[in-house]
């Protein structure tokens, strides 16, 4: 009886930013599960100094030379599994590298990753397809002095990432500090109205044939919703799966997530964080490279829908390999 050849998978993680530990944790968990599932796994890790490693061993002594060697490692693999959450790779650069190298990869491409990582662009795309986002304004260092207190606001760096948290400002005294802190993380920030509503996340998995799978919905039940990025749920925050929503609410949330998945051009799996209010479904965040430890939100959402963690990872790898043929 014929058997399927085990696929070689390069699990890529690391980088130079504050988001790296989360990506490294996901990569370690992914690598363990795939290896147990008879995939041939290679770990590629980008150190803080930019040098690529294969496992614990540096591939060379400069970032450029080690990158060249890493491409050689990639060439021996069938699929790359991207777990780079912070800069520079988390903005789509590693996806672009895989594309240029002709290596199929798990995750969204450069275009979709860059769109989703930019909060301003996300708002524009959402508006174009009729999805509500919080009202707000872009602030830069040139305009920050003109910002005036008009009530509670959320202050967000435009470029997303775990190390780039939202500040919830409830009084005038804290506004300038929040603005200054955000501008240290990004040269553009958003000052948005605070949306009062329940925070519900929707996970969407795309297959090469265009089919979209949706996991059970997840509700964040503790911690101020705006204080945490959508992809950071790893069991530490109060969560409920499935979310306690009625059929009408679920339909609205799922339709909005599927619409944005297509409008952004996502591939693999993505997470969409919404605020559910009495008037509307309000999009807050999109994450194209969500955390993927077994306790992270996407695995928990799909496990609750009947797709256990090993099956989810195998699905993502097989789909990437099929799409790259």
- Mean pLDDT of the 136-142 span: 91
* Whether the predicted pLDDT of 164 surpasses 60: no
Q: What percent of the chain has pLDDT over 90?
A: 64
Rounded distance, CA 135 to CA 78, Å?
Answer: 44
Output the pLDDT for position 66.
Answer: 96
pLDDT confidence bin for 228, thresholds 50/70/90: very low
CATH for 136-193 is 3.30.1490.20
**pLDDT greater than 70 at residue 69:** yes
Fold category of 114-132+196-323 in CATH: D-amino Acid Aminotransferase; Chain A, domain 1 (3.30.470)
Cα–Cα distance for residue pair 68/119, rounded to 1 Å: 33
Instruction: Give phi and psi for 52, each to the nearest 5.
Output: -80, 140
Question: Ranked by mean pLDDT, which of 22-26, 186-190, 298-302 comes out on top?
Answer: 298-302
Mean pLDDT, rounded, for 117-127: 93
Q: Which two tokens stand for residue 35?
A: 């290896």
Does the pTM exceed 0.95? no
| pLDDT of 1 | 41
Give CA angle at 239 (194, 275), nearest 5°.
25
Mean pLDDT to the nearest integer, 226-239: 49
Each residue's pLDDT tens digit, 78-105 = 999 999 876 666 678 899 999 999 999 9
Q: Which of 81, 108, 24, 96 is nearest to 286 (CA)?
A: 108
Residue 256 has pLDDT above 90, yes or no: yes
Give the integer Cα–Cα distance in Å for 297 and 235: 8
pLDDT value, residue 86: 66
Q: Can you give the pLDDT at residue 87?
A: 63
Give the per-residue pLDDT at 226: 40
Predicted confidence band of residue 172 (pLDDT cuts 50, 70, 90): confident
Most confident of 181-185, 205-209, 302-306: 302-306
pLDDT at 91: 75
Lowest mean pLDDT among 16-25, 30-39, 45-54, 133-142: 16-25
HSE-CB for 79 with a 13 A CA cutoff: 29
Q: Where are the domains of the chain?
A: 8-106, 114-132+196-323, 136-193
Average pLDDT, the chain: 88
Name the helix (H) or strand (E) containing 136: strand 136-140
CATH number, domain 8-106 = 3.40.50.20
């Amino acid at each position: 009886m014929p058997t399927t050849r085990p696929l070689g998978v390069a699990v890529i993680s690391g980088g130079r930013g504050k988001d790296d530990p989360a990506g490294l944790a996901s990569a370690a968990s992914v690598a363990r599960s795939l290896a147990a599932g008879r995939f041939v796994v290679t770990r590629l890790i980008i150190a803080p100094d930019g040098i690529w490693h294969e496992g614990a061993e540096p591939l060379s002594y400069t970032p450029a030379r080690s990158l060249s060697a890493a491409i050689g490692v990639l060439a021996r693999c069938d699929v790359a599994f991207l777990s780079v959450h912070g800069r520079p790779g988390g903005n789509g650069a590693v996806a672009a590298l895989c594309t240029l190298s002709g290596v199929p990869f798990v995750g969204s491409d450069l275009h979709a990753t860059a769109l989703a990582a930019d909060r301003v662009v996300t708002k524009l795309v959402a508006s174009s397809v009729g999805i509500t986002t919080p009202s707000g304004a872009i602030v830069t260092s040139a305009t920050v002095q003109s910002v005036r207190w008009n009530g509670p606001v959320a202050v967000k760096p435009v470029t997303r990432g775990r190390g780039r948290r939202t500040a919830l400002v409830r009084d005038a005294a804290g506004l300038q500090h929040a603005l200054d802190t955000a501008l240290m993380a990004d040269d553009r920030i958003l000052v948005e109205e605070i949306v009062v509503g329940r925070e519900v996340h929707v996970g969407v998995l795309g297959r090469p044939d265009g089919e979209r799978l949706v996991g059970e919905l997840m509700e964040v039940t503790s911690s101020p919703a705006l204080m945490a990025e959508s992809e950071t749920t790893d069991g530490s925050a109060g969560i409920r799966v499935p979310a306690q929503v009625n059929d009408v609410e679920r339909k609205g949330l799922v339709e909005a997530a599927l619409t944005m998945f297509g409008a952004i051009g996502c591939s693999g799996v993505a997470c969409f964080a919404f605020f559910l209010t009495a008037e509307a479904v309000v999009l807050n965040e999109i994450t194209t490279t969500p955390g993927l430890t077994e306790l992270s939100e996407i695995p928990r959402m799909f496990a609750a829908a009947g797709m256990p963690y090993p099956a989810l990872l195998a699905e993502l790898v097989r789909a990437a390999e099929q799409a790259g043929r």
